[in-house]
Amino acid sequence: MKKSRLIVLAVLLLCLGMMSMSGCSARDPLTLRIGSYNIKNGELVNHEFKAIADDILSKDLDIVGLQEVDKFCVRSKFADTMELLKEYTGMQYYAYFKCIDLYGDEDTYGEGGAYGTAILSKYPITETDEIELNNGKTVERRLLTHAAIDVDGTVVNFYNTHLTIASDAIRQSEFRIVANTVKDKENCILVGDFNVDSYGEFEVLKPLTYINNPETDFITHPEGDRKIDNICFSSEFSLAEDAYGLLENHHSDHVMLYAELELSGQ
């Protein structure tokens, strides 16, 4: 009996040692490093998307929402931007959403070219969908895009958007649709270029927490000192201390906003 107890104890100690070496335990929270990045179709890095990929890798992001993403466009050397970012980052999963098709500007887009938003992830994307936000009121389709992402067995509802700059009234209507869509979603993360005039416009998204606010005051569009990009999250998440901010390297007219989130109860 004594010998069997010693064997059990040895096995337990070995398991604890292995968990310690791996840096995790049964009580460790699930953590995700999230980004929001308007890449201006790669224009400021001469459409060399390795620079954009290096930005993402520099903050070890797990999931990033991208805005102003070209696909097979004349101006971006007919690149498939997301395939390149997948290759350069090693992040194997993405979803691309078309916001502008060819509409007469052949020098910019070319036959079959497109422009839109995308979600890039280290973890499998199991489902995607999109919601029209402005019903054709502007040339560019404004969308709320969604990816259900399987993070080691936990489903994270990740949303990405790029709201209109053309009209305050239209944008605030778009905000309301976004808010009504995400308000009851569990494990919800919402990122994007919101083109806001003030932080007050984010109030409609409550109870989501948003990291770009009067206290943090992140200038994400340096031209004009605009604070228009944000990362928002539902109550299941908390913001890791001192693990959020800006990557200011001028590879776009926006700077990348990033944050580390912890999912409680894991």
User: 82-97: per-residue pLDDT in tens?
Assistant: 999 999 999 999 999 9
End-to-end CA distance of the chain: 36
Sheet holding 30-38, edge to edge: 93-100, 114-121, 63-71, 30-38, 256-263, 237-247
> What is the C-alpha separation between 78 and 72, in angstroms, rounded?
4
pLDDT, position 24: 41
pLDDT band at 151 (very low <50, low <70, confident <90, very high): very high
Q: And the tokens for 219?
A: 């200038």
Confidence band of 28 (pLDDT split at 50, 70, 90) = low
pTM: 0.88
| Cα 64 from chain centroid (whole Å) | 3
Most confident range (mean pLDDT) of 93-102, 135-144, 198-207 is 198-207
Chain-wide mean pLDDT for the chain?
88
What's the pLDDT at 135?
Answer: 78
pLDDT at 22: 42
Distance CA 114, CA 97 (A): 9
Please return the burial class of 228, using the count of CB atoms within 10 Å of its CB with bins 0-12, 13-18 and 19+: buried
pLDDT band (50, 70, 90) for residue 263: very high
> Model confidence at 140, in pLDDT bands (50, 70, 90)?
confident
